[in-house]
Amino acid sequence: MEGGGWSWEQRTLVNELIQGMEFAKQLSFHLEGSSSVENAEILVQRILSSYEKALLILNWSGSVGHQPLQAAAVTAPVAAAATGSGSGVPGSPLSTNGSPRSEDFDGTKDHQAPINASKKRKTMPRWTDQVKVSSENGLEGPIDDGYSWRKYGQKDILGAKYPRSYYRCTYRNTQNCWAIKQVQRSDEDPTIFEVTYRGQHSCSFGQQQTVATPPAASPEKKEQIKHNFSSSNQQQPPPGEALLNLQKGLKVDTRDLDKREAVPFAFPSTYECQNSNFSQSFLSPATPEPNYYHVSPFVNSSGWAQTLQHSDSDLAEILSAQTSATSSPMLDLDFQLEPFELVPSFSYAPGYFS
């Protein structure tokens, strides 16, 4: 019942379903209006993706024998993810050209491998999640999204009040995982962090088994989901991603103005939907950390937006890369959801999963 008591699957499932509904609504909106076919297709993709994930979860927990998944309970500060960032991630398509096999790699540094690397980077799908962190006293802490990231830079952005930090997957070198993300704290609302992800994780354990998902279980998953209709939006995804992506959640990071250190978050138990009485359980105490916050992940249904973005040039590259790869339909053109378009009249009823 209480949000906090839900298992990861349940929450994710709900999230996915909600999201699917959201997208469906948007789609209908688009259909009525004179929207482009592209947008409609994108929405359809996302809807499918959401449902796919939802089904996956059901299927998964069903076959595996409903895992209790107490991941979070486990220990680490770096707990697991909670929601499905659902839309944010997985759906994002096109990896670069083909698959991240070992071919075009050269362990050289970015700088030195301009051609491959840069191109790769450019074609990487990019999406942004807006994560809100509500803290008790005004300080925020970083959130963990289940993946392990290594910070490689921080930069003051012109006009932005807070610096932007750059992270890359910890397994970049060991597993050629090129996923990166950057976190930018919002100017107006310091409790909001924009987390921009680029590239999908190709590392086998995107998230160090933090999440309860029994290691054994996830591998299977991948098999099942593999490509179906999703084949249209992701060519040969490195194995085992779907599920992992599902779990990826949010990550927020905060470094304080005063260069205060960010504290890793342990979290999962909290969901807070702006417009519902859903949730909000609080982070359980039990942590030695001075600051703990409670995070509410981008639940779009309640107004947190999430966007996919591409620049024109990116598009061009994607398109070309794409043709050579598979003739799959474009997935994310410059798809952008206006906040107001997002906020739907949707509100869920309190007894969701009771």
Partner DNA sequence: CGGATTTGACCACG
Partner DNA sequence: CGTGGTCAAATCCG
Q: Identify which of residues 66 and 151 has a Cβ nearer to DNA in the complex.
A: 151
Q: Identify which of residues 170 and 336 has a Cβ nearer to DNA in the complex.
A: 170
Joined tokens for residue 288? 């030695």
Task: Kindly state whether residue 175 participates in binding DNA, applying the rule CB under 7 A.
Answer: no
Task: Kindly state whether residue 229 participates in binding DNA, applying the rule CB under 7 A.
Answer: no
Q: Identify which of residues 24 and 113 has a Cβ nearer to DNA in the complex.
A: 113
For 256, the 3-state DSSP assignment is coil
- Is the CA virtual torsion 13, 19, 22, 26 positive or negative? negative
- Round to whole Å and give the CA distance between 134 and 192: 8
- Round to whole Å and give the CA distance between 99 and 113: 18
How many other CB atoms sit within 10 Å of the CB of residue 348? 18
The helix, strand and coil proportions of the chain, stated in percent and rounded to the nearest 5, come to: 35, 10, 55
What type of residue is 218? S
Q: Smallest gap, in angstroms, from Cβ of residue 144 to DNA?
A: 10
* Cβ partners under 8 Å of residue 193, min gap 6: 130, 131, 132, 133, 140, 143, 183, 184, 185, 186, 252, 253, 254
For 169, the 3-state DSSP assignment is strand
- Round to whole Å and give the CA distance between 26 and 299: 15
Task: Kindly state whether residue 285 participates in binding DNA, applying the rule CB under 7 A.
Answer: no
Task: Kindly state whether residue 164 participates in binding DNA, applying the rule CB under 7 A.
Answer: yes
Task: Kindly state whether residue 109 participates in binding DNA, applying the rule CB under 7 A.
Answer: yes
Number of residues near DNA (by CB under 7 A): 31
Joined tokens for residue 176? 């050629």
Task: Kindly state whether residue 182 participates in binding DNA, applying the rule CB under 7 A.
Answer: yes
Among positions 63, 118, 275, 277, the unique one binding DNA when judged by CB under 7 A = 118
Task: Kindly state whether residue 159 participates in binding DNA, applying the rule CB under 7 A.
Answer: yes
- Round to whole Å and give the CA distance between 180 and 167: 6
Task: Kindly state whether residue 153 participates in binding DNA, applying the rule CB under 7 A.
Answer: yes
Task: Kindly state whether residue 79 participates in binding DNA, applying the rule CB under 7 A.
Answer: no
State the binding string over 240-269 for DNA (x if CB under 7 A, else -): ---------------x---x-xx-------
Q: Smallest gap, in angstroms, from Cβ of residue 12 to DNA?
A: 25
Q: Are 262 and 141 contacting, i.e. CB atoms less than 8 angstroms apart?
A: yes
Task: Kindly state whether residue 114 participates in binding DNA, applying the rule CB under 7 A.
Answer: yes
User: Directed axis angle between helix 217-225 and helix 37-64, to 10°?
Assistant: 140
Q: Which parts of 122-151 interact with DNA (CB under 7 A)? A: 148-151
Q: Identify which of residues 103 and 156 has a Cβ nearer to DNA in the complex.
A: 156
State the binding string over 287-316 for DNA (x if CB under 7 A, else -): --------------------------x---
Q: Which parts of 25-54 interact with DNA (CB under 7 A)? A: none
Residues near DNA, by CB under 7 A: 109-111, 114, 118, 121, 148-160, 164-166, 168, 170, 180, 182, 255, 259, 261-262, 313
